[in-house]
Chain A
């Protein structure tokens, strides 16, 4: 029950994050959504890295806000064609509807546990590679000069 209430608030927070005019409020709403989801993960009995993920992501977004001085006032509502909205909404409705339908037909919990998978060594290596790649990639993108003869900036 508690989980359900948390989840409903999380959805509202997500909507607020998407639709808020001020970009700062957007980030705050996103943080609230993330926090609620992290509590849900805890209650569902699986504490995982999501809390660390959330902390890092909010910090990154805030640093981005500070760097770009973005306030979101000259927002972004103008000019998008009605068609685009329509296509997006149709996609979203169909997608959600199909997923709902699918979830109803899933077998019950524990219905078909075939084989307990030990922690896969290659997945571990792979995730290490992914995170390493992201860090090196970010460093590569943030190099002050891309080419030797470039004017900089």
Chain B
């Protein structure tokens, strides 16, 4: 079983390295490799859950230091599920682009980077993998090489590299203070009187990872990048990348390494609330389907941060559950937007209309995803938002609960607008002989929509098997170090 863990990083890296030579042999080979590799990753993740949920594994050979606990397992599940379906979707969607082997190469480097960030137990390796994912993402956003894609990419790159350098500076400071970069050892070696240093490092990490996660003061790159990127990339970016590189990293470091304090908890909650409200208010004005979804990403990430920032078991459970749900329904929504763009050639909601008759699969799946994101029972988004709001009330933060409810209502109204303009009403001129998307795209959308429904209906199992181990991992706090190193 131990061999499984490094393979999560090695398999996508190997796939990336052989992709370009393989394309010389056969045009079809990159797609076959991508399918097999992502299928393997998904299978291996499920096998991990199957064998023994939330077990902890360590490797110390060759300085390789990988840790798997409930939280990493949850993120790994989100990444591999989204990656598998997005890859299937890409087979059709990417047909119109040139240089597809480069696309798959970069895609797998991004996956390897995310898996590395999630699994590594070493702060410096975390940076290296983060940089690997980030650099391939800059290129992927610009993959169409049109003016607006390049523009979005350069904005993302400028903010992203400043963020990376802040994170690296923070890591260097941690290293200088403690003499180690092992996540588990840092908390033991932090000098007791280093409160100022700890605060400064926390601020650096909050700003750096906050930029990666697009929390509200640092969100400006996200709407551009999500709008301009090819749809499968938007889905991966919004579905898992900002979570793996931003939320996961900051949560892991704050909870398990530096230790959470009431002040940091409050900062997280305020960031969350501001993101929820600002994101959804900006989304209300958008008519570009993908840009609207992008602003909703900011808003939904706010829910995750709010829940996790509460630092109560219920809050963390709601936040992490929402993270998983958001990965599913938001990537589905971006795939819907991509399907419409692929078939009808527009992202403008005003130009669409009556698509439910012409593209039934896209319409049905997007209806399910919209209800999930808006928090309509019994879909998955309803439960996680309910947990977060209940947790706010339980913790006595009534204003935060109220703001979360308002955000949820505004989300609902925004998606009613999407449904009305895009899918209902009369069919617009020029769309009379529109067809639904090719079958790989439809298959990916249908399965993701079923997942939305299933996670909502099988709530006790989802929470019991997937979410609770992650909550235990976070509530363990600085006990992380004891769990890994033993003793004391």
Set B105, B145, B182: member contacting A141, Cβ < 8 A: B145
The answer to the question of A114 belonging to the interface, with a C-beta cut-off of 8 Å to chain B, is: yes
The answer to the question of B20 belonging to the interface, with a C-beta cut-off of 8 Å to chain A, is: yes
Task: Give A141 to B136 CA distance when docked, in angstroms.
Answer: 11
The answer to the question of B194 belonging to the interface, with a C-beta cut-off of 8 Å to chain A, is: yes
The answer to the question of B178 belonging to the interface, with a C-beta cut-off of 8 Å to chain A, is: yes
Judging by beta carbons under 8 Å apart, are A102 and B62 in contact? no
The answer to the question of A86 belonging to the interface, with a C-beta cut-off of 8 Å to chain B, is: no
- Interface flags, B102-141, vs A, CB<8A=1, else 0: 1101100100110010001010110011011001101110
Judging by beta carbons under 8 Å apart, are A147 and B125 in contact? no
Binds A, one of B91-99, B250-258, B475-483: B91-99
Judging by beta carbons under 8 Å apart, are B179 and A132 in contact? no
Contacts A112-B178, A123-B124; A140 near B132 (Cβ below 8 A): no
Binds A, one of B9-17, B77-85, B240-248, B386-394: B9-17
Judging by beta carbons under 8 Å apart, are B179 and A126 in contact? no
The answer to the question of B150 belonging to the interface, with a C-beta cut-off of 8 Å to chain A, is: yes
Q: How far is the CB of A13 from chain B (nearest CB, A)?
A: 20
B residues near A127, Cβ cutoff 8 Å: 128
- Interface flags, B309-338, vs A, CB<8A=1, else 0: 000000000000000000000000000000
Judging by beta carbons under 8 Å apart, are B97 and A146 in contact? yes
The answer to the question of B176 belonging to the interface, with a C-beta cut-off of 8 Å to chain A, is: yes
Set B125, B135, B189: member contacting A122, Cβ < 8 A: B125
Judging by beta carbons under 8 Å apart, are A122 and B112 in contact? no
A residues near B132, Cβ cutoff 8 Å: 126, 129-130, 133
Q: How far is the CB of B451 from chain A (nearest CB, A)?
A: 30
Residue total for A at the interface (Cβ-Cβ under 8 A):
39
The answer to the question of A45 belonging to the interface, with a C-beta cut-off of 8 Å to chain B, is: no
Set B97, B128, B139: member contacting A123, Cβ < 8 A: B128
The answer to the question of A74 belonging to the interface, with a C-beta cut-off of 8 Å to chain B, is: no
Task: Give A129 to B16 CA distance when docked, in angstroms.
Answer: 9
The answer to the question of A145 belonging to the interface, with a C-beta cut-off of 8 Å to chain B, is: yes
The answer to the question of B197 belonging to the interface, with a C-beta cut-off of 8 Å to chain A, is: yes
B residues near A106, Cβ cutoff 8 Å: 176-177, 197
Q: How far is the CB of A115 from chain B (nearest CB, A)?
A: 6
Q: Give the secondary structure class of B's interface.
A: helix
The answer to the question of B173 belonging to the interface, with a C-beta cut-off of 8 Å to chain A, is: yes
The answer to the question of B196 belonging to the interface, with a C-beta cut-off of 8 Å to chain A, is: yes
Judging by beta carbons under 8 Å apart, are B139 and A133 in contact? yes
Judging by beta carbons under 8 Å apart, are B179 and A122 in contact? no
Residue total for B at the interface (Cβ-Cβ under 8 A):
59
Q: How far is the CB of B245 from chain A (nearest CB, A)?
A: 14
Contacts A141-B142, A141-B145; A129 near B191 (Cβ below 8 A): no
Task: Give A138 to B139 CA distance when docked, in angstroms.
Answer: 7
The answer to the question of B488 belonging to the interface, with a C-beta cut-off of 8 Å to chain A, is: no
A residues near B440, Cβ cutoff 8 Å: none
- Interface flags, A108-122, vs B, CB<8A=1, else 0: 000111110111111
Judging by beta carbons under 8 Å apart, are B63 and A140 in contact? no
B residues near A145, Cβ cutoff 8 Å: 98, 145
Q: How far is the CB of A114 from chain B (nearest CB, A)?
A: 4
The answer to the question of A136 belonging to the interface, with a C-beta cut-off of 8 Å to chain B, is: yes
Judging by beta carbons under 8 Å apart, are B135 and A139 in contact? no
Task: Give A98 to B200 CA distance when docked, in angstroms.
Answer: 8
B residues near A101, Cβ cutoff 8 Å: 196
Contacts A102-B197, A136-B139; A122 near B9 (Cβ below 8 A): yes
- Interface flags, A56-82, vs B, CB<8A=1, else 0: 000000000000000000000000000
- Interface flags, B71-90, vs A, CB<8A=1, else 0: 00000000000000000000
Q: A139-B99, A140-B140 are in contact. List 13 more A-B contacts (CB 8 A).
A: A114-B178, A115-B185, A120-B124, A121-B63, A122-B120, A122-B122, A125-B13, A132-B17, A133-B136, A136-B105, A139-B102, A140-B143, A146-B143
Q: List 15 A-B contacts (CB under 8 A).
A: A102-B196, A102-B200, A107-B177, A107-B191, A112-B177, A112-B179, A115-B180, A123-B125, A126-B113, A133-B132, A137-B138, A140-B140, A141-B153, A145-B145, A146-B144
Closest 9 pairs between A and B when the two form their complex, measured CB to CB: A137-B139, A146-B145, A126-B128, A112-B179, A120-B63, A121-B62, A140-B102, A133-B109, A133-B136
